[in-house]
Structure 1
Amino acid sequence: MTSPPQRPRTTANDRRPAGRTKARAGAGEPLAASWNPTAEPEVVGEAEDFEDEPRRPRAGVASRYGWRIYAVPLLVVISALAVFQTVRPTDGDASTEQQAAGGSATPEQPLVTEAAPGQEYGPELFSADLPPEGGAIPETGARTFRVLPGTSEVVGTGQLYRYTVEMEVGIEKADPNAEVEFGHLVQSTLSDPRSWTNPQGATGSGTISLQRVDASGPSPDFRVILVSQQTAREACDYSNGVPYDSSCRKGEMVYLNAARWVRGAVSFEGDLGSYRRYAINHEVGHVFGNKHVGCPAQGGLAPVMMQQTFSVSNNELHELNKIADQGTKIPADGFVCKPNAWPFPIP
């Protein structure tokens, strides 16, 4: 990975607004007018002295030339400035848009450059690693859960499953808006026709329908809960299973790991919104009896029940299964899929 050019360090007082640069090296100095009003001009044809006429004092420069002594140098300076503005070279490396908008010249050296061909951004990460950059991770909580307010109409047709959206007490301190955002995203994801209520999902007895309820409503069939990193590790067998942060479903409890919620997964390449929808759909998919699957075809969309939090590569999931069996044998066939958040994605 090619290192960007080193720039001299600056202090806060040395920084200039974006786009500002010093005058270009080699630009000519402004033309300067030279004027010496103290020099005595030569007097031609001075009148002779007459004894019968008193001698008059010699006229000074100002009295001899009057206002012209000030006007002439002023005109020279104005002309010099006009010539300088006219002949000053334009910034040859400035974009057309900058010139049209009056922007300043671009720096001689780029402030930041794109990656060279064949190089990748960031350190080498195993696909199952938790991305090192992102929001603050809620590491611990109170291990008690609070039902968030909010309900929905019944979405879909078929057997009805009611669910609540909950959050572990204490983790909302990391983000005061987390409750509203989490509740909205869970409900909008499960109500989306690309999710599990899609009519194409009929198997045997028919499709399903979903409805969000809260603490004032009937008992839920399953609970979608955002929990701290430590609570998720305890619930999802981090110590005895695959040693990477993940979410899981245990009975009626769908635990979504807050560490993944704020950092996502390497396989989603920074698309945090799509990863969050994937995590919801994947874990709720287990509620309906779906097991893990592998990538079915090279370069295709990953099935939502593929363990995309860990990888979209069959070979890597095959190796992880050697550490802890994930319930489905994944062949080491070299297939690599594209990340996907939906059970029924639009083609």
Structure 2
Amino acid sequence: MVQYHYCVVTNGEVGSVEDFSNAVFRILNSEHGWARAGAIFEPSTDGNCDFDIVLAQASTLPTFSSVCSEQYSCRVGNNVIINDDRWNSGTDVWMSGGGDLARYRTMMINHEVGHRLGHIDNEMTCAGAGQAAPLMQEQSIFLDGCAINEYPLDSELWIG
């Protein structure tokens, strides 16, 4: 087991931090998520954080790094940056793939925290039409016939 302490912070004009914080805790501690790899996530009570989960106004994302765009969420160092526009609406690819906003939020948190755990985008991609997409596939952008999936596959259960 590996324990991580996180802090929830905001950047710009965003929605309810309390609702976001509650969702983050629930998502990160789901028995279907990274807990299957031995990760335990606790909000920091003293400000000492292994990483920050930042709910950010879309226009502020490029200020974190040139690799961040206003379109999607990203991770830079110990910042897991969640795009508030995506948090509130998902993406057309995900929604047209049969998803809903609650599942998209779960995928987004798990995917971006997956980067903090050592995973990279598209380290695995769709194994075939109708099969569950790997969590680390950029499902916000493409599904390639795969079924949407908000949790790590068995083959993704490692922590770097």
Please give the TM-score of this superposition, normalised by the length of structure 2. Answer: 0.84
- In structure 1, what is the Cα distance between the partners aligned to 2:62 and 2:113? 18
- Hey, what does 1:252 align to over in structure 2? 78
- In structure 1, the partner of 2:121 is 292
CA-to-partner distance for each residue in 1:217-248, whole Å, 9 max, x for gaps? 1511011010011111333536xx8x770111
Q: Percent identity?
A: 29
CA distance in 1, matches of 2:64, 2:131: 32
Aligned residues: 149
Matches of 2:65 and 2:133, distance apart in 1: 23
1:212 aligns with 2:43: yes
Does structure 2 conserve the Cα–Cα contact (< 8 Å) formed by 1:246 and 1:260?
yes
Structure with a larger share of its residues in strand: 2
Say which SS state the counterpart of residue 184 (structure 1) adopts: helix
Structure 2 counterpart of 1:164: 7
Q: Is 2:63 the partner of 1:234?
A: yes
Secondary structure of 1:162's aligned partner: strand
Change (3 A) 1:181 1:344: farther
Match 1:338 to one of 128, 147, 151: 147
* Counterpart amino acid of residue 10 in structure 2: M
Q: Which amino acid aligns with 2:111?
A: H
The 2-side partners of 1:232 and 1:257 are apart by: 7
Match of 1:222 in 2: 51
- Quote the RMSD (CA, aligned, Å): 2.0
Aligned to 1:274: 103
Letter in 1 for 2:6: Y
Q: Which residue matches 1:43?
A: none
Deviations 1:249-303 (A, max 9, x none): 1110001011111120112216111111111000000111111221122211111
Cα deviation code 1:116-136 (max 9, x no counterpart): xxxxxxxxxxxxxxxxxxxxx
Name the amino acid aligned to 1:265. T
Where 1:303 maps in the other structure, the secondary structure is coil
Larger relative helix fraction = 2
Return the alpha-carbon distance in structure 2 between the equivalents of residues 193 and 236 of structure 1. Answer: 32
Counterpart in 2 of 1:194?
A: 32
Partner of 2:158: none
Q: Distance in 1 between matches of 2:149 and 2:133?
A: 6
Greater relative CO (CA pairs within 8 A, separation 6+): 2
- 2: distance between equivalents of 1:279 and 1:236? 19
- The code of the aligned residue for 2:136 comes to M
Deviations 1:138-188 (A, max 9, x none): xxxxxxxxxxxxxxxxxxxx12211111222x414xx4xx21210111010
Is residue 58–residue 84 contact of structure 2 (8 Å, CA) maintained in 1? yes
Q: Provide the C-alpha distance between the structure 2 equivalents of 1:232 and 1:263, rounded to a whole number of angstroms.
A: 17
Q: Deviations over 1:41-85 (max 9, x none)?
A: xxxxxxxxxxxxxxxxxxxxxxxxxxxxxxxxxxxxxxxxxxxxx
Q: Which amino acid aligns with 2:118?
A: G
| Dislocated runs of 4+, deviation >4 Å | none
Q: Is the 8 A contact 1:249 1:286 kept in 2?
A: yes
Q: Unpaired segments of 5 or more residues in structure 2?
A: 155-160
Q: Secondary structure of 1:197's partner?
A: helix
What does residue 21 of structure 2 align with? 183
Alignment of 1:31-46 (within 5 A): none
Once the two structures are TM-superposed, the CA of residue 208 in structure 1 deviates from its matched residue by: 2.7
Superposed CA offset, 1:285-322 (max 9, x none): 01111112211222111111000111112xxxxxxxxx
Measured after TM superposition, the shift of residue 212 of structure 1 is: 1.4
TM-score normalised to the size of structure 1? 0.40
Distance 2:65 2:104 in 1: 19
